[in-house]
C-alpha cells in the first residue's frame, strides 16, 4: 500500500508543472544515444505521448549523423567535414535525405503513433515551410542557413492535434534544387522562435553543461556563458549548442534546457520535478 501511495504522490507532485505547461508548445531536439538505443527510443516515444495526452504540444526536430555516416560508408560515397560541418554535395545530400526523411523520421512517427499519439513526419520541403540559403557563401556546399520558417504550416498541424516530427532539410528557391542540409540544433532553434514556444529542450549525451571538475551547472545566463567560454570551461561542441540556446531565448522563447538523453524519462524529470536533471539557460 505504501508503494501505491508513493506513486500517487509522484503524480500529485507533477500536477503543478502539468498545469503550467498545458496548451504550451515545447520544441524538443532529439538526438544522440536516445535516438539509437532501442530501449531509450521506446521510452522517448512514451514520454512524448504522455506530454501530448496531458495537453502539452510537443514538436520534435531530429538529427541523424551516425546513420548518415553508416549509409555513406556502405554506398562508398565520400564526404568530409570543415569546422565540424559535413560538406554536402548533391550525392551526399541524396543520402542525407534518404536517412533523415525516409528512415529516421518515419521510425519516430511510427513509434509515436503506435503508443497513441497522432504524429506526422515532415521536412522543410513540405509546403516549403522551411527555406534556406547556402551557409557562408557555399563554403560547405548544400549546408544551409535558414532564411524563413512558415509557422502557419506547423501551427495548422498542431491545431489539428498532430505532433510534427521534423527532419532538418530546407527547401531551396528553384524547383529542381536538391534542398539544404541544416544543423538540427539550429533548425530546432529557428522553429522554436517561429512558434514562440514555451521551452526548447536539447537531448544530448552529457548530463548538461559541466564545470571544470565535471560537475553539472544547473543554470546559466548570457553573462555566465560568456565567462565560461572565456576561461575554457565551455568548449568544443557545447559552444554551438549554447549559441543556439541563446539565439532561441533572444527570439522570445522563455528558456532552453540541455539534458542527458541517456537517462530514461529525462524529459519528464526535467519538466515535472522541482530541480530537474540538466542545465537550464535563461536570459
Q: How many CB atoms lie within 10 A of CB 126?
A: 18
- Return binding residues: 64-65, 86, 181
| Cell numbers placing 192 | 522554436
| 83 dihedral zone (left: phi>0; alpha: psi -120 to 50; beta) | left
User: Integer distance in angstroms from the first to the last C-alpha of the chain?
Assistant: 45
Which residue numbers belong to the known binding site for substrate? 64-65, 86, 181
Distance of alpha carbon 100 from alpha carbon 40, whole angstroms? 19
Helices (H), 115-214: 151-159, 184-195
CA pair distance 49, 124, nearest whole angstrom: 23
Helices 151-159 and 184-195: angle between axes, nearest 10 degrees:
70
Tell me, rounded to whole angstroms, the distance of Cα 59 from its chain centroid.
9
Measured in whole angstroms, the distance separating CA 128 from the mean position of its chain's CA atoms is: 20
Amino acid at each position: 500500500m505504501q508503494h501505491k501511495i508513493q506513486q500517487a504522490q509522484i503524480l500529485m507532485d507533477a500536477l503543478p508543472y502539468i498545469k503550467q505547461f498545458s496548451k504550451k508548445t515545447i520544441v524538443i531536439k532529439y538526438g544522440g544515444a536516445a535516438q539509437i538505443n532501442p530501449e531509450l527510443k521506446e521510452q522517448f516515444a512514451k514520454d512524448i505521448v504522455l506530454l501530448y495526452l496531458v495537453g502539452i504540444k510537443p514538436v520534435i526536430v531530429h538529427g541523424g549523423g551516425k546513420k548518415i555516416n553508416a549509409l555513406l560508408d556502405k554506398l562508398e560515397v565520400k564526404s568530409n567535414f570543415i569546422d565540424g560541418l559535413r560538406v554536402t554535395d548533391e550525392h551526399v545530400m541524396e543520402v542525407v535525405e534518404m536517412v533523415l526523411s525516409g528512415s529516421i523520421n518515419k521510425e519516430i512517427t511510427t513509434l509515436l503513433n503506435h503508443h497513441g499519439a497522432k504524429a506526422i513526419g515532415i521536412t522543410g520541403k513540405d509546403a516549403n515551410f522551411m527555406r534556406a540559403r547556402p551557409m557562408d557563401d557555399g563554403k560547405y556546399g548544400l549546408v544551409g542557413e535558414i532564411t524563413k520558417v512558415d509557422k502557419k504550416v506547423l501551427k495548422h498541424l498542431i491545431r489539428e492535434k498532430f505532433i510534427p516530427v521534423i527532419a532538418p532539410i530546407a527547401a531551396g528557391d528553384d524547383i529542381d534544387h536538391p534542398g539544404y542540409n541544416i544543423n538540427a540544433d539550429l533548425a530546432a532553434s529557428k522553429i522554436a522562435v517561429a512558434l514562440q514556444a514555451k521551452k526548447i529542450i536539447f537531448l544530448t549525451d552529457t548530463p548538461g553543461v559541466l564545470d571544470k571538475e565535471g560537475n553539472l551547472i544547473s543554470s546559466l545566463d548570457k553573462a555566465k556563458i560568456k565567462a565560461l567560454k572565456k576561461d575554457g570551461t565551455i568548449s568544443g561542441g557545447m559552444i554551438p549548442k549554447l549559441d543556439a540556446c541563446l539565439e532561441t531565448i533572444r527570439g522570445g522563447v522563455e528558456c532552453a534546457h540541455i539534458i542527458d538523453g541517456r537517462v530514461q524519462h529525462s524529459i519528464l524529470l526535467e519538466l515535472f520535478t522541482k530541480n530537474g536533471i540538466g542545465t537550464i539557460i535563461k536570459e
